[in-house]
Amino acid sequence: MTIARKLPRSGQYVFKGSDALETVVATVEGAAMQGVLAVAPLVCGDESSMTRWTRKKGLIDPLHQHDDHESVAILISGKLRMVIDGGEFIVGPGDSWVHPRGVPHYSEALEDCVQIEIKSPAIRTWRLPDDPA
C-alpha cells in the first residue's frame, strides 16, 4: 500500500490549532532527515494545505525540490539558514520565503524553530516512521 500524495480536504471550515497532532517525520520527498523534524497538519482545502513544522536545532533538510507544487512559509520562532536555488539566506521570526516548483532547496535549523507552511496544490511530501513503504 502506498501513501496518497494528494491530501484530502479537512471536512470542516475552522480547525483548532490546539487539535493538531504533531508527528516526527522520517523522510521529505523520499530523503531521510538529518535531525528531528515534526509536522502538524492544520487545515486542507481543495487547492492548498497548511501545516506547522517544528525543527530541532541542528536539523538539516536534505537537498530536494518539489516538482508538483509550490510552498510558501513564514518562520514563527527560531533561526534558519536556507539555501534556495543556490542562494543562501538567514531567516528569523516573521521572515517568509517561497519554494517554487522545481527549485532545489534545503535548510539548517540554527535554533529550535517553528514555521507555518502552505502548499498549493495540497500535497503530502513527508512520510512518517510507521507509514507503509
- CA 5-120-54 angle, 5° bins: 75
What single string gives the DSSP state of each residue in 11-27? Answer: SSS---GGGPPPEE-SE
Q: What percent of the chain has pLDDT over 90?
A: 62
- What pLDDT sits at residue 133? 66
- Whole-number Å distance between alpha carbons of 44 and 11: 8
Q: How confident is the model at residue 18 (pLDDT cuts 50, 70, 90)?
A: confident
Work out the average pLDDT over 12-29.
86
In the CATH hierarchy, which fold is given to the domain comprising 42-125?
A: Jelly Rolls (2.60.120)
What single string gives the DSSP state of each residue in 66-106? Answer: -SS-EEEEEEEES-EEEEETTEEEEE-TT-EEEE-TT--EE
Q: Which residues pair with 37 in a beta bridge?
A: 55
pTM: 0.89
Domain edges within the chain: 42-125
- CA 115-112-42 angle, 5° bins: 30
Lowest mean pLDDT among 7-11, 35-39, 56-60: 7-11
Q: Is 64 helix (H, G, I), strand (E, B) or coil?
A: strand
Q: What percent of the chain has pLDDT over 70?
A: 96
- Whole-number Å distance between alpha carbons of 19 and 28: 23
pLDDT at 2 over 80: no
Q: Is 124 helix (H, G, I), strand (E, B) or coil?
A: coil
pLDDT at 102 over 60: yes
